[in-house]
């Protein structure tokens, strides 16, 4: 898989993709990640990437021209219907569809090239959305200063689902959300830490009992923290 990130703050990404599972996946050739400065695609002499909104109002809006040029360079076209198969152009914005594990899985299974456009300021010229973007995505019901942290979140959650990215085949299957429940609690040595002991069932080697305990604890955790996952309703607000 190839992931390209378009941002006006390329330095923001620093070494963020150089650790752990993502680093290993990059070294193994499972994913290639490149960060691009939108400003490099600006054609005017001041390298302008943003401008005031038509109709007035606060803040600045990212201009369409540099983003169109970047997408054309990265995908070969700025006609959304002509992208090569497996191409997804993702706009990170608080107005997007909620990003969930199921969406991460869908991207990991179906996409071969993901271009992420990090919005900034008051937003991105809507023609980018109308003509280039295949998926407008939000990572949660809060407003970030820009799409950059969201791009990191999305890249991370997708890369760990790519074939052979994790050490063992089963690790992702047991993650929170993949079975509709949150993950169960985990313990490691020492079995007795300052008098706080590990549940006995985990020490006795009875795998059927351990699985049953894990399921019950996952259910309990989900009921406590994310009742909406069980009822289909949002427990908050
Ligand atoms: N940009 C600003 N807020 C965002 C959010 N919640 N998700 C994705 N991109 C964003």
Domain membership flag for residue 172? no
With the most atoms of ligand 1 within 8 angstroms of its CB, the residue from 129, 140, 143 to mutate is: 143
Q: What residue ranges line ligand 1, CB within 6 angstroms?
A: 92-94, 119, 138-140, 142-144, 146-147, 150
Domain membership flag for residue 171? no
Confidence of residue 170 (pLDDT cuts 50, 70, 90): low
Q: Are residues 113 and 196 in the same domain?
A: no
Mean pLDDT, residues 96-118: 98
Taking CA atoms only, the protein residue closest to ligand 1 atom 7 is: 138
Distance between CA atoms of residues 158 and 173, nearest Å: 14
Mean pLDDT, residues 167-175: 73
Q: Give SS3 for 72.
A: helix
Mean pLDDT, residues 155-170: 88
At residue 165's C-alpha, the angle toward residues 161 and 168, to 5°, is 95
Residue 176 confidence (pLDDT) = 85
Distance between CA atoms of residues 226 and 237, nearest Å: 13
Residue 222, C-beta contacts closer than 8 angstroms, at least 6 positions apart: 181, 182, 229, 230
Distance between CA atoms of residues 152 and 174, nearest Å: 22
At 4-53, the pLDDT tens digits run 999 999 999 999 999 999 999 999 999 999 999 999 999 999 999 999 99
Domain boundary among 125, 159, 193: 159
The residue to which tokens 């351990």 are assigned: 210
Residue 169 confidence (pLDDT) = 55
For residue 224, the domain's CATH number is 1.10.1270.20
Q: Where are the alpha helices (DSSP H) in 51-120?
A: 64-75, 101-110
Mean pLDDT, residues 111-131: 95
Q: Are residues 89 and 204 in the same domain?
A: no
Q: Are residues 96 and 203 in the same domain?
A: no
CA–centroid distance, 87 to ligand 1, in Å, is 21
Domain of residue 220 covers 180-229
Domain membership flag for residue 174? no
Report how many domains make up the chain: 2
Domain membership flag for residue 69? yes
Domain boundary among 128, 159, 190: 159
Confidence of residue 234 (pLDDT cuts 50, 70, 90): low
Of 53, 94, 149, 185, the active-site residue reads 94
Distance between CA atoms of residues 23 and 20, nearest Å: 5
At 50-98, the pLDDT tens digits run 999 999 999 999 999 999 999 999 999 999 999 999 999 999 999 999 9
Give bridge partners of residue 61 from the DSSP assignment: 51, 123
Q: Are residues 23 and 102 in the same domain?
A: yes
Q: Are residues 13 and 118 in the same domain?
A: yes
Average pLDDT, the chain: 95
Q: Are residues 97 and 190 in the same domain?
A: no
Q: Are residues 22 and 119 in the same domain?
A: yes
Domain membership flag for residue 237? no
Q: Are residues 112 and 198 in the same domain?
A: no
User: Strands, DSSP E only, in the chain?
Assistant: 2-7, 32-37, 50-51, 61-62, 87-98, 113-118, 123-124, 135-138, 192-193, 196-197
Q: Are residues 109 and 196 in the same domain?
A: no
Domain membership flag for residue 111? yes
Taking CA atoms only, the protein residue closest to ligand 1 atom 10 is: 93
At 201-213, the pLDDT tens digits run 999 999 999 999 9
Q: 183, 175, 178, 172: which is closest to 219 by C-alpha? A: 183
Distance between CA atoms of residues 191 and 74, nearest Å: 52
Residue 175 bears catalytic tag: yes
Domain membership flag for residue 116? yes
For residue 43, the domain's CATH number is 3.40.1280.10
């Amino acid at each position: 898989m190839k992931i390209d990130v378009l941002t006006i703050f390329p330095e923001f990404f620093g070494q963020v993709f150089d650790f752990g599972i993502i680093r290993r996946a990059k070294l193994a050739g499972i994913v290639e990640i490149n960060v691009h400065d939108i400003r490099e695609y600006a054609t005017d002499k001041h390298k302008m990437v943003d401008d005031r909104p038509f109709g007035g109002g606060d803040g600045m809006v990212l201009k369409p021209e540099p983003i169109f040029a970047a997408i054309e360079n990265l995908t070969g076209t700025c006609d959304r219907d002509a992208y090569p198969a497996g191409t997804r152009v993702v706009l990170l914005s608080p107005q997007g569809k909620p990003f969930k594990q199921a969406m991460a899985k869908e991207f990991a299974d179906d996409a071969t090239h993901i271009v992420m456009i990090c919005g900034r300021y008051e937003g991105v010229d809507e023609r980018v959305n109308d003509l280039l973007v295949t998926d407008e995505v939000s990572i949660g019901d809060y407003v970030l200063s820009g799409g950059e942290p969201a791009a990191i979140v999305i890249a991370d959650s997708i890369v760990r689902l790519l074939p052979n990215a994790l050490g063992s085949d089963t690790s992702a299957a047991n993650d929170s959300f993949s079975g509709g429940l949150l993950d169960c609690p985990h313990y490691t040595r020492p079995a007795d830490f300052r008098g706080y002991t590990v549940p006995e069932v985990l020490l006795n080697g009875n795998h059927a009992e351990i699985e049953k305990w894990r399921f019950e604890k996952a259910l309990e955790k989900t009921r406590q923290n994310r009742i909406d996952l069980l009822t289909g309703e949002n427990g908050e607000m």
